[in-house]
Structure 1
């Protein structure tokens, strides 16, 4: 069975970059009728916060990305310890004691000599007595996985055939000196024991994948299928990493972005398929193909979400937005005609309030000097209420006959006088909702 996972760290709110990873893994699982696991990477007790665990779940639920099971890595520390012991017994795990400053000096020296800046494995030459002396002086060392210096190869679902020389990569640190288990080994143990078959993540993890393949093989596991999606940039190709904090999903939600607009964009962004608004999750699942995504950096512009949100809202019946219409202050008896009028003229649901304020309180008339006599004559011809969908047509026909005006010269001054705006909804739909005019009628 196909099994995928999304493994966020609860050290902050998830953003559009995280969502891309979560959505791809979700769609792969759902398309195959498989399992989608939410796995909280909370092995860092200092930075992991329960409030962010809750926020991650709330954001995924808002988007409709429902998981089949939830796991927490902090509940599985004994499994990582067992894997570490196994690697020690195999001679693939060793303790190293260099300080960050010493490592930096080594890297600079290697670069000056034209060599790749990889860890030189000096710790492998330490005697037991030297290790004990270093522990006494510096505390516990870090634990590194000893890579086999051979090529690591796999067929990537997006990048194609990948081949990395393990000799060009430092032996990865899997456990820190303070005992904290790092992602590299925790992920391997979890993916293996949870039967994860497909892993999709950012292209910044390619080197991690190479080292993890060797760790999986050392522990006797089966490698999942890997795919590494491109990283997002800003609309001008600029690095997005510094802005991701302002692109948290809850901030987009606060700005009125609709879930299906966000999902429709992220399910196609960076692929060879055009972005198209989808009506529901089933359409997203059916149209998803990981093989259609490219390796090039992918431009993301938050402004692209708002036309999609507007288009999505236009497709919704009143029942789907009834709460928002009520929150805008619209009386229940006017909700249906109000939504029919406003839906084509909003970008987000927050815009409903402004349209209801116009209907309820009227607007400052916008009347050019040359139109004042015309407007005064037109107001006299306004039919008696109550107004309905035919009133605008009846009124403008009467005004046309009386004044001789027609076309834009007839309709625009009347719109501006009633709404204070040059553009907006169909006046036939808006006029019956204008409470001030209704009262005059």
Structure 2
């Protein structure tokens, strides 16, 4: 697919809470489409809801975008900093006759809606102050500031080819004359969005399907101000494993809860990419590959179900691919909090290289690595169970040979086999006591690899103390 007009996409969250997974997926798709065509990805903060918008929520959105690595090319633009521009467009629309002052009070508008409902019609503003040729308007109340309403077309339909849902048609009679500026002059949501998309030359609007009802209103405003229409695509919601709308009861839904739980951004991006889009049977891919493959034709119209096990599986893959020094930076704070002592202990990146294949999160990796960074405290019952009279001579022989064996994984493994053969034992009979002596637990990776990492002096001291 090629496009003549430079592609410009946008992510435009309202800062009324954290960046949730649905918003992150919208941002990802918009970012990928811009990257696919070498276009521009715009970040816009729609902060006109003064009662609910907070600086903390703005920061949470910016933090989430930064963690995911979804870098914007322009912005962030803040709607509250564009008030002069909105007022300029409102004034032009009033001058052009595509908007008008309405002096109906909120109580009067509610009464209009109640009458429409009682008549079996859709509740709506009845157009009392809408100027029409030959129409006599009511006297202007002296003590009331007006709102500004958009003069929505009375007849016809709004139709657009939604890139996700297909053709959507809404009759204009379903849409009343919406308020575009409040009595104090502040503009309303749908109006600001339309002006922003026009000014920012947005060519493709990808957003959640909770915005479908806003689209015909925005299209009519864009047509009234002479703007070129973007293409629209409305993404289905993400459902929880139970088929209900994803919510807090399904676990973390704020993007920034996932790094705290030990997930890598590349795993989250990889997973979100597949929640509503596919490329054959491909499950694992980088963001560079995703941007190269991404197209609108492969977006699915049906809701996707969030699956924590699938995300964990992907996270395990990306942990195995990750640089060990990077993983060390991620796990070290958690380990330090748990009392890890790093002085004189094995090199952390080397330890993580041994352990990372078995872990689904960096938190699991940190917990697994603790065996190398704390003193062993074996359970007395386990010691009694595994350190039998038959095993003690083999342990003593092992302790003698520690001093002279070459300290490599292969040489340690060979020495253990020799001790086992000399005492007529099988591997678990010696490996279990050695694990208890050196690591304080029965579950570890291969014993030769563990001993080699601990170092000759530490192993000798711990086995001697154990004996």
TM-score bracket, normalised by the shorter chain, equals 0.7 to 0.9
User: Which residue of structure 2 lines up, in the alignment, with residue 437 of structure 1?
Assistant: 459
> CA shift at 1:80, angstroms?
1.1
Query: Residue in 2 aligned with 1:131?
Result: 140
Runs of 4+, deviation exceeding 6 Å: 407-410
Matches within 5 A, 1:204-283: 204-241=210-247, 246-273=252-279, 276-278=283-285, 280-283=286-289
The CA deviation at 1:356 is 3.7
Question: 3-state DSSP class of the match of 1:343?
Answer: helix
Partner of 2:21: 16
* CA displacement, residues 105-152 of structure 1 (integer Å, 9 cap, x when unaligned): 65455445432333333343896654325xx2xx43433322213111
Structure 1 residues 60-69 or 356-365, which shifts more?
Answer: 356-365
Tell me the CA shift for residue 41 of structure 1. 1.5
Equivalent pair of 1:358/1:419 in contact (CA under 8 Å): yes
Matches within 5 A, 1:148-159: 148=153, 149-159=155-165
Match of 2:402 in 1: 384
Paired residue for 1:427, among 447, 450, 465? 447
2:363 matched to 1:350? yes
Displacement of 1:335 in angstroms is 3.2
Q: TM-score, normalized by length of structure 2? A: 0.82
- Going from structure 1 to structure 2, the CA distance change for 1:434 and 1:147 (only over 3 Å counts) comes to same
Name 1:117's counterpart in structure 2: 123
- Answer whether contact 2:378 2:441 (CA < 8 A) is retained: no
What does residue 34 of structure 1 align with? 39
What is the total number of aligned residue pairs between the two structures? Answer: 436
> CA 1:370 to 1:190, structure 2 compared with 1: closer, same or farther past 3 Å?
closer
TM-score, normalising length: structure 1? 0.87
2:3: which partner in 1? none
Aligned partner of residue 76 in structure 1, secondary structure: helix
Distance 1:112 1:241 in 2: 36
Asked if the contact 1:381/1:398 (under 8 Å) is kept, the reply is no
| CA deviation vs aligned residue, 1:394-413 (integer Å, no higher than 9, x gap) | 24423542454447677667
Q: 1:336 to 1:218 in 2, by over 3 A?
A: closer
SS of the residue corresponding to residue 269 of structure 1 reads: coil
Corresponding residue number in structure 1 for 2:60: 55
Gaps of 5+ in 2: 1-5, 336-340
Instruction: Go from structure 1 to structure 2 and tell me whether the alpha carbon gap of 1:6 and 1:374 turns closer, same or farther (over 3 Å shift).
Output: farther
How far apart, CA to CA, are the structure 2 residues paired with 1:88 and 1:389? 82
- Aligned CA distance change for structure 1 residues 112 and 396 (closer, same or farther; 3 Å): farther
In structure 2, which of residues 191, 197, 201 is the aligned counterpart of residue 191 of structure 1?
197
Aligned to 2:378: 364
Measured in 1, the distance between the counterparts of 2:411 and 2:377 equals 20
1:167 matched residue in structure 2: 173
Offset at residue 294 of structure 1 (A) = 1.6
The answer as to 2:317 corresponding to 1:317 is no
Is 1:66 equivalent to 2:71 in the alignment? Answer: yes
Q: Deviations over 1:224-245 (max 9, x none)?
A: 1111111122111112256699
2:348 aligned to which of 326, 335, 338? 335
CA distance in 2, matches of 1:128, 1:169: 22
Alpha-carbon distance in 2 for matches of 1:87, 1:254:
49
Match of 1:223, SS state, is coil
User: Alpha carbons of 1:372 and 1:252: their partners in 2 closer, same or farther (altered >3 Å)?
Assistant: same
Contact 1:389 1:432 in 2 (8 A): yes
Residues 344-391 of structure 1: CA distance to partner in whole angstroms, max 9, x if unpaired?
233333334433431232241535737633443442232415743125
CA contact (8 A) 2:31 2:70 kept: yes
Residue pair 1:15, 1:247 contacting (<8 A) in 2 also: yes
User: For each residue in 1:197-216, what CA deviation from the matched residue of structure 2 results, as whole angstroms up to 9, or x when unmatched?
Assistant: 11100111112111111111
Cα distance in structure 2, aligned partners of 1:299 and 1:220: 40
How many Å separate the matches in 2 of 1:16 and 1:216? 30
Task: Report the Cα distance in structure 1 between the residues aligned to 2:378 and 2:112, rounded to whole angstroms.
Answer: 73
Alignment of 1:67-82 (within 5 A): 67-70=72-75, 71-82=77-88
Cα distance between partner residues in 1 of 2:186 and 2:309: 40
Residue aligned with 1:152, SS:
strand
Aligned to 1:373: 389
What residue in structure 1 maps to residue 338 of structure 2? none
Deviation at 1:427, TM superposition (A): 2.7
Q: What is the aligned-residue RMSD (CA, Å)?
A: 3.1
Alignment CA distance shift 1:371-1:77 (3 Å): same
